[in-house]
A and B are shown apart, each in its own frame.
Chain A
């Protein structure tokens, strides 16, 4: 298991996909700041950019960047036949799957850490400061983000591996990410409406609250609303489910 993980990690660090995705995410964060600055200077001279605004730029669409990274890293394994080579080299399917999922998690963490640090740098340069959080809370938020990125990385890598070798693998992750983003927006706007109070009651309120509290995709949405333990529980559950279901499907899958 360790030898394939070592080989996969070496591959991901050498592969251009990681650099492309990190570059694109940093570019997006920079563009976000520049565009907001221009709009603010043109439309509303009194408004200002807070550090929190800049830090949320990547978070809002992190799931798409992580999905793109997983697709770019793991679909070539099927297209180039290198996954075939791993089996011929005496590795078990479970080892190959677990190694890929761990690599996906690590790649996702690397990207998230680098982009968040870049956003922090942008915040120091371009923002008027942090209005809501102190340094301890920001550190806590950063830790949550890392845990969330790992869980989402495991989830999307599993999707890519389950559909690997078919054209579906290219867009299945994005379709799921898009759907979850929509669902996340619906839950967030229902629970925390911009105008007025939350009108949800009963089972729907319970369901939406549980989703908001435990679903890692919600942890990317805006500022932390729950305790670290809730986020950790949700992330561990998603990772465990992804690995469990993925292992069953992948071990039955015939590699082309």
Chain B
């Protein structure tokens, strides 16, 4: 498998605190890699090391095949586009001027692609309006346009849909999928919105306490996600009693709704048991565990993603 980024036993310490602890990760070329973890799990630290903003304490990594201690690695970063934490934009400049700055930084010969980029992110009608006066969503779009300058091979996006309205979220999602499919651009996306991530990611990396707990493809995740039956009854206490008797795992949501984790159970059997208890089943349907539920079962708890 060809990778754009691969780390081995990567560590980053701040005093006694280990932000990254023997982290091993592989980002396949051409993938949309969803990076998932709690706040403080080490996502941003890894992104910062990848972008050259910080140096690892120990361990190694390769970026586009170049080792981290290769003096020429900075050249590989020219094939990189990134929005790290907040969009890096010149607030006293217009969207167009910001993109010109980025073109100059990258040493691009002309500014021909700027209008296309502005159209792509929906900022073509901002004229001379200064980026300072942009909404959060517009700044996010401009940050994305800056990351897209120079046709990069690998784009890193930290919370790309942060501050976007629903329409904007859909547009950015479609843009990412289109760029991935048409230009084979690899994406590393860190996002708190797991539902959104699950719609685009082809690969996942789950990070906790500075190391990767699990890496998997979307197909593997799909296969591993538990299937369940969502059920609506007149009384979930009776459902609990029946499930206990049959030794089936279940989860009660409220007095009418519950979920049972045995999709093989015949409906007629279940209906019979409820009839014996003078209880009624109103609806029943198969349900697949979401990325969010998988994440919770893998990493648990609050302060998610």
Q: Which residues of A contact B (CB under 8 A)?
A: 3-4, 6-7, 10-11, 14-16, 76, 80-82, 84-92, 254-256
Give which listed residue, B97, B100, B105, contacts A4 with CB less than 8 A.
B105
Ranked 10 nearest A-B pairs via Cβ: A90-B78, A81-B88, A85-B88, A7-B104, A90-B77, A3-B107, A88-B82, A88-B51, A89-B105, A255-B53
Q: B53, A84: Cβ atoms under 8 Å?
A: yes
Whole-angstrom distance from the CB of A244 to the nearest CB of chain B?
21
- Give the most central of A4, A7, A86, A88: most B CB within 10 Å: A88
Do A88 and B80 contact each other (CB < 8 Å), given the known contacts A3-B107, A7-B104, A10-B101? Answer: yes
Q: A90, B88: Cβ atoms under 8 Å?
A: no
Interface assignment of B244: CB less than 8 Å from any CB of chain A: no
Q: A3-B105, A15-B92, A89-B80 are in contact. List 20 more A-B contacts (CB 8 A).
A: A10-B101, A14-B93, A76-B92, A80-B88, A80-B89, A81-B87, A81-B88, A81-B89, A82-B88, A85-B105, A87-B52, A88-B51, A88-B77, A88-B81, A89-B78, A90-B74, A90-B76, A90-B79, A254-B54, A255-B53
Q: A6, B74: Cβ atoms under 8 Å?
A: no
Q: Kindly state the separation between the CA atoms of A11 and B89 in the bound complex, as whole angstroms.
A: 12
Q: Kindly state the separation between the CA atoms of A10 and B51 in the bound complex, as whole angstroms.
A: 25
Interface assignment of B75: CB less than 8 Å from any CB of chain A: yes
Q: A92, B74: Cβ atoms under 8 Å?
A: yes
Whole-angstrom distance from the CB of B152 to the nearest CB of chain A?
10
Determine the chain B residues whose CB is within 8 A of the CB of A7 once the complex forms.
Answer: 101, 104-105
Determine the chain A residues whose CB is within 8 A of the CB of B78 once the complex forms.
Answer: 89-90
Q: Which residues of B contact A (CB under 8 A)?
A: 51-55, 74-82, 84-93, 97, 100-102, 104-107, 146
Whole-angstrom distance from the CB of B250 to the nearest CB of chain A?
48
Q: Kindly state the separation between the CA atoms of A256 and B14 in the bound complex, as whole angstroms.
A: 14
Do A11 and B105 contact each other (CB < 8 Å), given the known contacts A88-B82, A90-B80? Answer: no
Tell me the dominant secondary structure on chain A's binding face: helix
Do A81 and B86 contact each other (CB < 8 Å), given the known contacts A76-B91, A88-B77, A255-B53? Answer: yes
Q: Kindly state the separation between the CA atoms of A45 and B182 in the bound complex, as whole angstroms.
A: 82
Report 14 cross-chain contacts, Cβ distance below 8 Å, ordered by A residue. Answer: A3-B104, A3-B106, A6-B104, A10-B101, A10-B104, A11-B93, A11-B101, A15-B92, A88-B81, A88-B82, A89-B77, A89-B80, A90-B74, A254-B53
Determine the chain B residues whose CB is within 8 A of the CB of A6 once the complex forms.
Answer: 104
Q: Kindly state the separation between the CA atoms of A201 and B121 in the bound complex, as whole angstroms.
A: 71
Q: A91, B88: Cβ atoms under 8 Å?
A: no
Determine the chain B residues whose CB is within 8 A of the CB of A82 once the complex forms.
Answer: 88-90
Whole-angstrom distance from the CB of B73 to the nearest CB of chain A?
9
Q: How many residue-residue contacts, CB under 8 A, span A and B?
A: 83
- Give the most central of A3, A16, A80, A86: most B CB within 10 Å: A80
Whole-angstrom distance from the CB of B276 to the nearest CB of chain A?
65
Q: B51, A87: Cβ atoms under 8 Å?
A: yes
Q: Kindly state the separation between the CA atoms of A6 and B92 in the bound complex, as whole angstroms.
A: 18
Determine the chain A residues whose CB is within 8 A of the CB of B84 once the complex forms.
Answer: 81, 84, 88
Determine the chain B residues whose CB is within 8 A of the CB of A84 once the complex forms.
Answer: 51, 53, 84, 88
Whole-angstrom distance from the CB of A59 to the nearest CB of chain B?
29
Determine the chain B residues whose CB is within 8 A of the CB of A4 once the complex forms.
Answer: 104-105
Q: A86, B91: Cβ atoms under 8 Å?
A: no
Determine the chain A residues whose CB is within 8 A of the CB of B97 once the complex forms.
Answer: 14
Q: A89, B102: Cβ atoms under 8 Å?
A: yes
**What is the chain A residue whose CB lies nearest that of B94?**
A14
Whole-angstrom distance from the CB of A161 to the nearest CB of chain B?
15
Q: Kindly state the separation between the CA atoms of A256 and B107 in the bound complex, as whole angstroms.
A: 24
Give which listed residue, A14, A76, A85, A255, contacts B102 with CB less than 8 A.
A85
Q: Kindly state the separation between the CA atoms of A8 and B264 in the bound complex, as whole angstroms.
A: 66
Determine the chain A residues whose CB is within 8 A of the CB of B85 once the complex forms.
Answer: 81
Determine the chain B residues whose CB is within 8 A of the CB of A91 once the complex forms.
Answer: 74, 105
Q: A90, B75: Cβ atoms under 8 Å?
A: yes
**What is the chain A residue whose CB lies nearest that of B89?**
A80
**What is the chain A residue whose CB lies nearest that of B50?**
A88
**What is the chain B residue whose CB lies nearest that of A6?**
B104
Q: Kindly state the separation between the CA atoms of A94 and B169 in the bound complex, as whole angstroms.
A: 38
Q: Kindly state the separation between the CA atoms of A46 and B52 in the bound complex, as whole angstroms.
A: 67
Determine the chain B residues whose CB is within 8 A of the CB of A87 once the complex forms.
Answer: 51-53, 77
**What is the chain A residue whose CB lies nearest that of B55?**
A254
- Give the most central of B55, B78, B101: most A CB within 10 Å: B101
Q: Kindly state the separation between the CA atoms of A87 and B76 in the bound complex, as whole angstroms.
A: 11
Determine the chain A residues whose CB is within 8 A of the CB of B79 once the complex forms.
Answer: 90
Whole-angstrom distance from the CB of A78 to the nearest CB of chain B?
11
Q: Kindly state the separation between the CA atoms of A254 and B87 in the bound complex, as whole angstroms.
A: 19
Determine the chain B residues whose CB is within 8 A of the CB of A256 once the complex forms.
Answer: 53
